Structure 1
Amino acid sequence: MTCGGRRGQLAAALTIGLCTIGSALRPLSLAAQQTRVEQVRPPVSSQGRLPVTGCSGQPKSDIVVISQPPFTDRLPRDLDWVRRAVRATHANTRDDVVRQFLFLKVGEPCNQIKRAESERILRAQPYLVDARIRVYDDENGGVRLEVETRDDFSLMVEPMLRGSSPQFRGLRLGESNLAGFAKQAVVEWRNGMAYNDVLGVQFTDFQFLGQRDELRLEARREPFGQRLNLEAVRPFYTDLQRFAWVASVGGRREPHQFLRGDIETNAVNVRRAFSNVGGLARVGPVGRLRLIGASITREEERVDSLPFLLTPLGVRPDTLGEAALLFRRQNVLRANLLLGVRAIRFVRVQGFDALTGTQDIRVGAQAGVSLGQSIVVGPAVDRDRFLSTNVYLGWGGEKWFAGAQGITEARYDLTRRQWDNVIGSGRAAWYFRPAVRQTTVLQAEWATGRRMRAPFQLSLADREGGLLGHRQSREPGARRLVLRGEQRLVVPTRLNVADVGLAGFVEAGRLWTESSVPYTVDTPWRGVVGVSLLAAVPPRSRRLWRVDFAVPVSKDPRARFEVRLTGIDRSRTFWRDTRDVERSRERTAPTSLFNWP
């Protein structure tokens, strides 16, 4: 229609009227269409549209969660099938899961400490690559918070391969973020050869009953026994929370094997049951606080005195005529006092324990103590006292960081009036990152057992605490010290499928003997040098995949060139006990409370 054409006075008046009405209705129509679009449009990032402001007491008008899948960056056309395949099998972390970890609520004043702690706790979740909480001006006197998370690759497929026949020994299959609900489920099978096949299931709920609690379940049939563990815990995530608690029950029956040098390995059967319930409360200000609590623990352990042989063809009696291995039977109920002090701040760093991923390191000091007194009730007849300590120190920043942690426990026998079962382990490390793509790591790891009355033995063959290239080592010890050095280099790539890198490393270790640990010897220093291929999938993932090529340089006759594939996320905790140490510890020390993150 043309407004202003000459068609007579009546036609002109009618035309002008219609044009006027149309002009008046057009803005209303556009506004209505825009409203309908905004109602169905999903939340989008404000970055680039609104100015970023500080979080300093403004009222929060809205909190938007933006959950990103793996491989958010653009991939080359030839590799775009990777993005499609991953997203077809992946479920994004749900918004309500992310919101449960927030200490922020709409309408409350924006608090910088709560914002930073919420972001850090999200970043520490194993199914997330990274998390950011950004603050934007809502142009109405308040702020709008955007919580952006990016998921890690959640499907777990880990074949177990060996160089000898049969090469395919087992498979570990699972999902680390089941349907986006922050639940991990894993099943495992491994060929038991002459014994039972290993069948295992693990389940972890990182938001048990919709809270910031964790439920952990492990059931496993071993080649010669079984294991069952159930634990519910509210870890001490942050100084902002008031309480932490733990409840656990479990047991196992399995052989404890002993290396004997060139003589065939023997074993004794161990039966163990435990239970634990306790909690902590915070006393003091955020950043410099004290923890106090209590727990009730139950420990029962029985060890057979007659050793036997676990041969490739099955179980055989040990006919070497050696004396029986004598271990103390334990049956104790304890009341424990839990104490802790904490003066910690967190620094966000990149490329320390991960290849390029981010993590939050603890700077400051933290100490936890457990003091236990036995209670003679019913079958619990042992009379003892128990002491456990967990000490952490850390200092540094984004360019370099030095830290140390040690965990020690001991039992005082009131009948014999002496300390026994003294177990200690720990780690000291120095990280140096002079450039974005370079990282140097120097570390020392130690473990010791003294006056042992329970099965215990260390070796350089242990997969976690020993040396590469020494898987066939037969030398046992009671104390172990391993020194490691590594130089990592990130290799630039534009594929956006993975971060890749190279590393050169050296390792050295030795063992010492102790009369209470069977068959142990003093060894000279053993060494190994090698190179590694490194990868993080997807980019910036904190799980570091590595293929190590290790060449022994010591005179151990059983040391061999080794190629080892591993994929581990070490960014959540500074130190975790190796399995050969952890299996001999008592379950009374509340490491679940003192060791997070």
Structure 2
Amino acid sequence: MKTVNASCKQVAVLFLLIFVISGSNFRATANDDNDDPGGVIIDSVIVQNGDIFDMELSENRNWIFSLANKLHINTRKHVIRRELLLDKGDIFSRKLADESERNLRSLPYLWDARIEMIRSADGRNIMSVTTSDRWTLAGGPTFSRSSGQTIYQFGFEEMNLIGNGQRVSFDYYLREFEENYIRASFYERRLFGSRFGLSSSYNGNPEIGSISFGLAKPLFSLNSKFGYSISYTDINRTDKYYSSGYEFARNGYKGRLLGLSAVYRFGTYQNKVSIGFAYNYKDIKISKRLIDPDYSFDFPADSIYSDYLFSINAGNFEYIKARRIDRISRLEDISLGTEAGFSSGFTIDAMTNRRLYRTMSFSCGYSDKFGPNLIFLRFYRAFWYDGGTDYRKMTNFSIRYYNRTISWLTPTVIMLYLEDWRRDGREALYLGENGGLRGYPRYSTEGEKLLRINIENRLFTGIKMLSAEFGITQFFDLGQTWSGGERFEMKENLWSIGVGIRIGTERVSNAEMIRIDLAYAGKIRNWEISFGVGQYL
């Protein structure tokens, strides 16, 4: 218990320090929600829900783009209007207009959004809202390749069902070496036009296996004060355990999870404090225990328990617009600022009403823009303990750095350090193709500690073919896992180097980009090609 108490003191000191730093920027203003108290009153709101392609631009005068516009159902005006934080009769606020633009751009079916005030010929003040759509229907056969395995996918996804903003998907996955499975989902962001969101999903992947339903009222704007959610998940999956890439044990995992959460937030427009509560009920059954006789392993036991968690978070932030950070051409809204959070809770055995353990966590973050440089720092520390017994301790520290000195090149550095100490001795941190090291098999190494560095030079060529834009990535991946009693040794690092192609399909696909990487894994002297969507990290 001494280690936990000492860590608690360190966490408390760090939390207070970050809270003070955050609080130093909490500057309330006389008109925090309206940055233009002498501004004009909005007489009317006009929504112009544009097509995918603007045919007035010479570069878009193509029969393919014209056909895409005709086949696509535009986002309906009422779907756009319900996201606006300003309406007829309000005093126009540039802050709220900018936030409305960000909210609209965050929707997966919109490409861009612009809000401006114009004066009509008869002197009326009109708030003009202009949006452009993305192609939202994806389907047919696709494939990806990772860790030496090719996965074929057949299905469809519509992110904007008949223009109403609903998402529906169905996919069948055919895997080269593992079991095939089905995945389906439905999401309604505004149930019956309300602020409630409804989600449901089915995932037949044996390693994930779940059916879930959720209803939530989120914090839909920076002025929102209260949010809450309820969710239910039925799990039926297979947990696998690896040693140096070899699966030595597995077990069936069936469970029911019920989750309730609520958050209250207050503060000025750009400086917030939030207080939250979460409750989770879990009923877990373990079955089909299989193990290689050459290994020893303590399988998890059946359990029924309830989690109670209380949290407080504080932060200040601002938003900037940028391009060519994690996307190829689409505008990115990036949040910068300082934040800190603290949570504490406990877990109760539902059968005996006995407390199993306590939990405590601390997190802080800092992000800023220095000239052409963007940097993001995140730290998280968590404890599971009871009395004088420590059950688990976890640390997560990450750094992300981007440099935009040259418009066509974005050097990127991502560093991650993890610790996951468990009383049962299980080592659950892995490196491999699925853990940040391209060219290596999945679960290549495991340990209690992990250090990984990824360096990418993202080159934007400016080459376009129809609506697709092409980029090139040069990368270097380096990482190591080790046990708690071992020392970090440079010679034990796994590394890979390679090049990749990035194809920006953001406007005409539900994927931000298509990724093709060719990696050479130096430690095992292996070449590997991998395919996927989105940035690798």
**Conserved in 1, the CA contact under 8 Å of 2:135 and 2:508?**
no
**Conserved in 1, the CA contact under 8 Å of 2:460 and 2:471?**
yes
Confirm whether residue 527 of structure 1 aligns to residue 510 of structure 2. no
The correspondence of residues 306-385 of structure 1 with structure 2, limited to 5 A, is 307-308=289-290, 318-327=291-300, 329-375=302-348, 378=351, 381-385=354-358
Give a deviation string over 1:96-148, Cα, whole Å, max 9, x none: 11111111010111112211111111112222222111221235665211111
Tell me the equivalent position of 1:438. 409
Structure 1: which amino acid aligns with 2:333?
D
Residue aligned with 1:59, SS? coil
Residue aligned with 1:351, SS? coil
Give a deviation string over 1:43-87, Cα, whole Å, max 9, x none: xxxxxxxxxxx9952010121112223233678899934324433
Confirm whether residue 279 of structure 1 aligns to residue 247 of structure 2. no
Displacement of 1:354: 0.7
Displacement of 1:262: 7.1
**Conserved in 2, the CA contact under 8 Å of 1:499 and 1:539?**
no
Tell me the equivalent position of 2:31. none
Aligned counterpart for 2:385 among listed residues 412, 428, 438: 412
Tell me the equivalent position of 1:547. 516
CA, structure 1 residues 140+336, in 2 after alignment: closer, same or farther (shift >3 Å)?
farther
Tell me the equivalent position of 1:136. 118
Residue aligned with 2:92, SS? strand
Give a deviation string over 1:195-245, Cα, whole Å, max 9, x none: 753011122222233234433222122347831222223333432111122
Tell me the equivalent position of 2:222. 239
Displacement of 1:319: 4.9
Structure 1: which amino acid aligns with 2:75?
T
**Conserved in 1, the CA contact under 8 Å of 2:134 and 2:507?**
no
**Conserved in 2, the CA contact under 8 Å of 1:75 and 1:497?**
no
**Conserved in 1, the CA contact under 8 Å of 2:304 and 2:351?**
no
**Conserved in 1, the CA contact under 8 Å of 2:44 and 2:126?**
yes
CA, structure 1 residues 436+267, in 2 after alignment: closer, same or farther (shift >3 Å)?
same
CA, structure 1 residues 493+285, in 2 after alignment: closer, same or farther (shift >3 Å)?
same
Give a deviation string over 1:181-208, Cα, whole Å, max 9, x none: 1122121212367875301112222223
Confirm whether residue 152 of structure 1 aligns to residue 134 of structure 2. yes
Structure 2: which amino acid aligns with 1:562?
E
Residue aligned with 1:436, SS? coil
RMSD of aligned alpha carbons: 3.4
Structure 2: which amino acid aligns with 1:83?
F
CA, structure 1 residues 326+165, in 2 after alignment: closer, same or farther (shift >3 Å)?
closer
The correspondence of residues 453-492 of structure 1 with structure 2, limited to 5 A, is 457-463=428-434, 465-471=435-441, 474-492=444-462
Structure 2: which amino acid aligns with 1:501?
G
CA, structure 1 residues 71+452, in 2 after alignment: closer, same or farther (shift >3 Å)?
farther
Structure 2: which amino acid aligns with 1:467?
L
Query: Which structure has the bigger radius of gyration?
Result: 1
**Conserved in 2, the CA contact under 8 Å of 1:502 and 1:531?**
yes
Aligned counterpart for 1:187 among listed residues 170, 181, 187: 170
**Conserved in 2, the CA contact under 8 Å of 1:279 and 1:294?**
yes
CA distance in 2, matches of 1:560, 1:540: 35
Residue aligned with 1:58, SS? coil
Residue aligned with 1:297, SS? strand
**Conserved in 2, the CA contact under 8 Å of 1:510 and 1:524?**
yes
Displacement of 1:329: 4.8
**Structure with the higher strand share, 1 or 2:** 2
CA, structure 1 residues 91+523, in 2 after alignment: closer, same or farther (shift >3 Å)?
farther
Aligned counterpart for 2:75 among listed residues 70, 93, 104: 93
% identity of equivalent residues: 19
Structure 1: which amino acid aligns with 2:270?
G
CA distance in 1, matches of 2:60, 2:268: 55
Confirm whether residue 110 of structure 1 aligns to residue 92 of structure 2. yes
**Conserved in 1, the CA contact under 8 Å of 2:144 and 2:532?**
no
CA, structure 1 residues 165+482, in 2 after alignment: closer, same or farther (shift >3 Å)?
closer
Displacement of 1:549: 1.7
CA, structure 1 residues 126+354, in 2 after alignment: closer, same or farther (shift >3 Å)?
same
Aligned counterpart for 2:250 among listed residues 257, 267, 273: 267
**Conserved in 2, the CA contact under 8 Å of 1:59 and 1:142?**
no
CA distance in 2, matches of 1:510, 1:254: 29
**Which segments of 5 or more consecutive residues in structure 1 lack a partner in the other structure?**
1-53, 309-317, 516-520, 576-597
Residue aligned with 2:62, SS? helix
Give a deviation string over 1:287-346, Cα, whole Å, max 9, x none: 112112323222333445x742xxxxxxxxx45253342435543223332311121111
Residue aligned with 2:143, SS? strand
CA distance in 2, matches of 1:376, 1:256: 23
**Conserved in 1, the CA contact under 8 Å of 2:53 and 2:60?**
no
Tell me the equivalent position of 1:209. 192
Structure 1: which amino acid aligns with 2:414?
Q
Confirm whether residue 288 of structure 1 aligns to residue 271 of structure 2. yes
CA distance in 2, matches of 1:449, 1:422: 6
Of the structure 1 ranges 71-80 and 521-530, higher mean CA displacement relative to structure 2 is found in: 71-80
Aligned counterpart for 2:239 among listed residues 256, 259, 267: 256
Displacement of 1:497: 1.6
Displacement of 1:388: 3.6
Structure 1: which amino acid aligns with 2:223?
L
Confirm whether residue 429 of structure 1 aligns to residue 412 of structure 2. no
**Conserved in 2, the CA contact under 8 Å of 1:199 and 1:220?**
yes
**Which segments of 5 or more consecutive residues in structure 2 lack a partner in the other structure?**
1-35
CA distance in 2, matches of 1:441, 1:164: 24
Aligned counterpart for 2:529 among listed residues 548, 556, 563: 563
**Conserved in 2, the CA contact under 8 Å of 1:482 and 1:507?**
yes
Residue aligned with 2:471, SS? strand
Structure 2: which amino acid aligns with 1:58?
V
**Conserved in 1, the CA contact under 8 Å of 2:166 and 2:187?**
yes
CA distance in 2, matches of 1:405, 1:62: 43
